[in-house]
Structure 1
Amino acid sequence: MLELHCHTTFSDGTLAPTELVEAAAAAGVRALAITDHDTLGGWDEAIAAARRFGLTIVPGIELSTVWHGRSLHVLGFYPQRDLLEPPLRDRFEGRRRRARQMADKLAKLGYPIVLPQIGAGIAPGRPHIARALVAAGHARTEREAFDRWLSDGGPAYVSYEKFSAVEGIRLLRDCGAVPVWAHPFLFRGGEPSEILPELVAAGLRGIEIYHPTHTPTQHAMLAQLARTYNLVATGGSDYHGPIKDGPTLNQLQLPLELLTALQAARLTNRGPASSSDRERSGLR
């Protein structure tokens, strides 16, 4: 079975790459994508661990971008590491600046925290801030921390530094990756059917149809959009670790045929958006 959306301790997951690989193998996963936020840091450890279990690692990333003023995430599969890592440094440092800004906001609100010591290659995110709030005794759970301070528009929320979805898609294409829109129905800046033509025109190659938050009706809607725009269909649990009431590995029971289509898209990746992308988007 297939998992194309998972996180490790190199971003906001709670399992180290080796632990994630072991858990995935135990759950029956045969191909696992490492898609940490804005970092490739977990790849090497995951690949080394996967050799012991006969498990295939799909190298990936989840870029944090903004579109229509709201957060939009773009998955990128099979990027050329040497091309992607240099521009990622700016995104990585932006995440560190954002974490400090949220900590400053919390202090002004009367809820000081100690930012966790985050190692090299690890991209800080709101879950790290939430854990710090729990450790400081300001919240009982990470969920409470999000609900009170860190959710979009919350009193301590800080948006990502300006990096548009179009820029993210073009960066991934320039680095040989297959860009895929992650969990479209979590996007709060418009309906997928309205947003998709703009992203396809920029070079989007796929759409994450299968996600724990998507309903069967939404699956069907996204599948139709994928057919309309000739996009690769992907899916994954968006697993962040063993969290109460959270998604579990392999819960979607996705077939390996989805990986075959993704690999084919990789082989036919044409770099920056071409005229055929614009034709498919209806924006030519």
Structure 2
Amino acid sequence: MAIDLHIHSTISDGEYTPEELVMMAKKAGLSAIAVCDHDTTEGARLAVAAGEKIGIVVIPAVEVSASLQGEVIHILGYGINLGHLELNQVLGTIVSYRYRRAESILANINQELIAAGRRAVNTQDILDLGKEKPITRADIAMYLLEKGYVKSRNEAFDLWLDKYNIPNKDFSVQEAIDVIHRAGGIAILAHPSSPSMSLNTISTKLEDHKAILQDLYRNELDGVEVYRFLQQIEDEKKYLEIVESIGLVATGGTDFHGPHYLGSAPTIGAKEIPDSVLDKVLTTIEMRRAKNPS
């Protein structure tokens, strides 16, 4: 049966609540999903509870922002203990960084707007989101769009959000892998060929990606998100060959955020993923838990 192991909810930068996502997955005939919100386990907690009620497997998950060679990389944690104290403390630190980043980005945007004789952004409207969820750049882009400062989310990123972004270089990929393991989960490198938050931001050469993955494997990375919606089939084949040659697990998902999110899959389960992936992921989680009981 179909699965989707990379979905985002309103708890981070998605357009549907965790409960809505679980219901959508059930209606779509999916057998298992993972809600992987950015730097918070709250979306996964709500999704797991909803899945138990309607009978669909929801793997406890999170997408952690970390640094590798000076670039931001995303690491998926599957099978984590959602109440793990250390993991949630680490995520809380990253969420605090996101708040400070939002303050800095908004201050720079307002400086430009005021210099151009335009109305400044009400920063508190956006910062108040931090009381409920991690503040993402997508949140800022949506606010700027809704208030008429830009005509599209893309324009917000092109004008300001990329220029004034402050990468979090204080939390390494190795630290992310280690804390996910201590929380009883497995660590998966997300969207390796994506234009951003991926290995492509370090190098666009496939041989460099292989060398990086070999090094991460030696440092106990468990797998790579090979099956992705926005990826050429040829690239998928190349990454699958690399991953299998190293001994990493191949996982997959749509990275679904919602129909209005630029670059998102159109719906949950839009990417065909081999049936064997779920079994391999669950087996690897059990093996990791036996090695690193949380």
Query: Under a length normalisation based on structure 2, what TM-score does the superposition of the two structures give?
Result: 0.85
1 CA distance for matches of 2:132 and 2:179?
20
| Residue 47 (structure 1) shift | 2.3
1:172 to 173, 180, 183: 180
Aligned residue for 2:224?
A: 207
Aligned residue for 1:53?
A: 54
Aligned residue for 2:117?
A: none
2:278 to 250, 259, 267: 259
Residue type at the aligned position of 1:215: Q
Matched, 1:157 2:170: no
| Residue 87 (structure 1) shift | 2.2
Contact kept, 8 Å, 2:60 with 2:78, in 1: the verdict is: yes
The alignment of Structure 1 onto Structure 2 pairs a total of residues equal to 269
Contact kept, 8 Å, 2:37 with 2:44, in 1: the verdict is: no
Segments of 5+ residues of structure 1 without an aligned counterpart are 273-284
| Residue 14 (structure 1) shift | 1.1
Contact kept, 8 Å, 2:45 with 2:60, in 1: the verdict is: no
What pairs with 1:223-234 in structure 2 (closer than 5 Å)?
Answer: 223-234=240-251
How has the CA–CA distance of structure 1 residues 205 and 102 changed in structure 2, closer, same or farther, with 3 Å as cutoff? same
2:264 to 233, 238, 246: 246
Computed over aligned residues only, the root mean square deviation of the Cα atoms, in angstroms, reads 1.9
What pairs with 1:117-136 in structure 2 (closer than 5 Å)?
Answer: 117-118=128-129, 120-136=131-147
Q: After alignment, is 25-34 or 105-114 more displaced?
A: 105-114
| Residue 44 (structure 1) shift | 2.9
**Does the residue aligned with 2:80 lie in a helix, a strand or coil?**
coil
Query: Under a length normalisation based on structure 1, what TM-score does the superposition of the two structures give?
Result: 0.88
Q: Percent identity?
A: 30
Matched, 1:79 2:92: no
Cα shift readout 1:221-274 (whole Å, capped 9, x = no counterpart): 1111121121111000000012267302111122442111011111111349xx
Residue type at the aligned position of 1:208: E
Aligned residue for 1:275?
A: none
Higher helix proportion, which one?
A: 2
Q: After alignment, is 67-76 or 80-89 more displaced?
A: 80-89
Contact kept, 8 Å, 2:60 with 2:81, in 1: the verdict is: no
Contact kept, 8 Å, 1:170 with 1:202, in 2: the verdict is: no
Contact kept, 8 Å, 1:33 with 1:60, in 2: the verdict is: yes
Aligned residue for 2:100?
A: 97
Cα shift readout 1:71-97 (whole Å, capped 9, x = no counterpart): 211001011232421222111211111
| Residue 122 (structure 1) shift | 1.3
Aligned residue for 1:62?
A: 63
